[in-house]
Amino acid sequence: MIPKATPATRAAAIERLGAFLPRAGHQYRRDRNRDRGPGQHSNVSGLSPYIRHRVVSESEVLKAVLYQHTVASAEKFIDEVYWRSYWKGWLEHRPDVWSRYLEQLRGSLRAVDTDRGLRNACEEAVTGRTGIEPFDAWAQELISTGYLHNHARMWFSSIWIFTLKLPWELGADFFLRHLLDGDPASNTLSWRWVAGLHTRGKTYLATADNIEKYASTRFFADGPPLGLTRLSSRADPLVEEALPAAVPLSLPEPVDATSGSGLLLTEEDLYLDAPLAPRAVALWMPSAMHPLPASDLVSAFKAEAGQDALEGARKRWPQAREGSALSSVPQIVDWARQHALEQVYMAYIPQGHLSMQVAELRQALIDVDCRLRVFVRDFDRLAWPHATKGFFQLKRQIPRMLEALGLA
């Protein structure tokens, strides 16, 4: 079945959530690990592109799930939603991991320019011409749909690192630029986890048996696919210089809304709930954020999601001035001036490409007597402090967090 392009609107997200809800309990627990191929992923929610940009919020997804299922029967799904928070929170404590990744990526991109062998091997991998049939199919699925099943992401990254022996950060970059849910925390840290850099020394090895067990209908219907005998039987952990110590979280205090304020939506958080009735709404959508550009599919998805959020904002806050998409700090400053804004509110920007520009924006606004005020969603404020070690430290807190959010 040829998958349709994923619509980026909130209406589409709510429809997808509604369609998935009956399957979010024991069915999800039983079937979620199966990779059935493009257009056949109904055993998982497919909500990640929407959750990634907060077209829908984690709280509303869990609220809808818990309306139909008990916490016990939806435990697996709830855990997965919190895996995302775990990665986000963990990277907040270790911002150096993101800057180190970017630095290594630039180094590897330079190596690709100068080393023809590496360039050819990368080219084969990202265009699906390695001869390892499942790997090639995943590369093509990613490029044509912007999505891969979680298990496929694990197998793909493991084969990239341990069989093809390519630099992990080039694979992570390939994912980040092509996934509709491409996320600095979930993506970078999952690649690091597979490589043995997250849980030191513990790697993930893709095996033919495991691929057959969970993707048999996709790849084994006519016998074993080509190339699986080439898979590495070893996954020796990558090593790196020790990371700097974790930094304490420093989240801004809750803010009180004041008049004369504007709301700045970003691709990190398009959820239309803010502690103010804004005088003006705009969308910050920087044009270039990677050393290499995102795929057309990803750019189109983000643009549509942003426009849809602006339209939603018009209905939600009819008093606010017509919003527009702004791509640079000077444009935001002009917008603040034009509407005589004393304050610009924005949902917290977690570690990633955009967070690196927040200090510049704050200063530029101060220069025109406007303050940047940042609010943090309760979901993040509750979860991130528990993301300092392994996931299970955070998991233990889930019942308490659900209760604090009024969801239990």
Ligand X SMILES: Cc1cc2nc3c(=O)[nH]c(=O)nc-3n(C[C@H](O)[C@H](O)[C@H](O)COP(=O)(O)OP(=O)(O)OC[C@H]3O[C@@H](n4cnc5c(N)ncnc54)[C@H](O)[C@@H]3O)c2cc1C
Give the CA count within 13 Å in the CB-facing half-sphere of 341.
31
CA distance 135 to 156: 6
Q: Which stretch binds ligand X (CB under 6 A): 106-114, 173-181, 301-309, 391-399?
A: 173-181
* Binding-site size, ligand X (CB under 6 A): 28
For ligand X, the closer of residues 23 and 279 by Cβ is 23
Residue 191 Cβ vs ligand X, minimum distance, rounded to whole Å: 5
The answer to the question of residue 153 lying near ligand X (CB under 6 A) is yes
Q: Which stretch binds ligand X (CB under 6 A): 125-133, 174-182, 235-243, 371-379?
A: 174-182
Residue 171 Cβ vs ligand X, minimum distance, rounded to whole Å: 8
CA distance 172 to 151: 15
* Cα Rg of the chain (Å, integer): 22
The answer to the question of residue 108 lying near ligand X (CB under 6 A) is no
DSSP calls for 243-285: PPPPPPP-PPPP----SSEEEEEETTB-----SS--SEEEEE-
The answer to the question of residue 25 lying near ligand X (CB under 6 A) is no
The answer to the question of residue 203 lying near ligand X (CB under 6 A) is no
Binding test (CB under 6 A) with ligand X, winner from 13, 17, 44, 313: 44
User: Looking at this protein, which amino acid is placed at residue 33?
Assistant: N
Residue 197 Cβ vs ligand X, minimum distance, rounded to whole Å: 12
| Dihedral sign (CA 179, 183, 186, 190) | positive
Place of tokens 């008093």: 319
For ligand X, the closer of residues 47 and 407 by Cβ is 47
The answer to the question of residue 52 lying near ligand X (CB under 6 A) is yes
Binding test (CB under 6 A) with ligand X, winner from 46, 128, 167, 350: 46
Torsion-angle region of 243 (φ positive above 0: left; ψ -120 to 50: alpha; else: beta): beta
Residue 137 Cβ vs ligand X, minimum distance, rounded to whole Å: 16
Instruction: Report 220-239 residues binding ligand X (CB under 6 A).
Output: none
Place of tokens 């209760």: 403
Mask of contacts with ligand X, 70-89, x by CB under 6 A? ----------xx-xx--x--
Q: Which stretch binds ligand X (CB under 6 A): 92-100, 185-193, 240-248, 291-299?
A: 185-193
Element (H, E) at 346: strand 343-347
Instruction: Choose among 191, 195, 196: nearest CA to 174.
Output: 191
For ligand X, the closer of residues 34 and 153 by Cβ is 153
Where do the DSSP E strands lie in 96-250? none
The answer to the question of residue 48 lying near ligand X (CB under 6 A) is yes
For ligand X, the closer of residues 182 and 350 by Cβ is 182
Binding test (CB under 6 A) with ligand X, winner from 157, 266, 295, 351: 157
| Dihedral sign (CA 299, 305, 306, 307) | positive
Q: Which phi and psi angles does 346 have, rounded to 5°?
A: -150, 140
Residue 172 Cβ vs ligand X, minimum distance, rounded to whole Å: 7
The answer to the question of residue 179 lying near ligand X (CB under 6 A) is yes
The answer to the question of residue 51 lying near ligand X (CB under 6 A) is yes
Place of tokens 């999601």: 305
User: Looking at this protein, which amino acid is placed at residue 395?
Assistant: K
The answer to the question of residue 53 lying near ligand X (CB under 6 A) is no
| Dihedral sign (CA 189, 80, 44, 228) | positive
The answer to the question of residue 272 lying near ligand X (CB under 6 A) is no
Residue 256 Cβ vs ligand X, minimum distance, rounded to whole Å: 31
Instruction: Confirm if 145 and 258 have CB atoms less than 8 A apart.
Output: no
Instruction: Choose among 102, 117, 181: nearest CA to 149.
Output: 181
For ligand X, the closer of residues 206 and 282 by Cβ is 206
Residue 12 Cβ vs ligand X, minimum distance, rounded to whole Å: 14
Q: Which phi and psi angles does 349 have, rounded to 5°?
A: -100, 110
For ligand X, the closer of residues 81 and 376 by Cβ is 81
* Token digits of residue 371: 């303050």
- Which residues would be at the binding site for ligand X (CB under 6 A)? 32, 44-48, 51-52, 80-81, 83-84, 87, 149-150, 153-154, 157, 175, 179, 181-183, 186-187, 190-191, 194
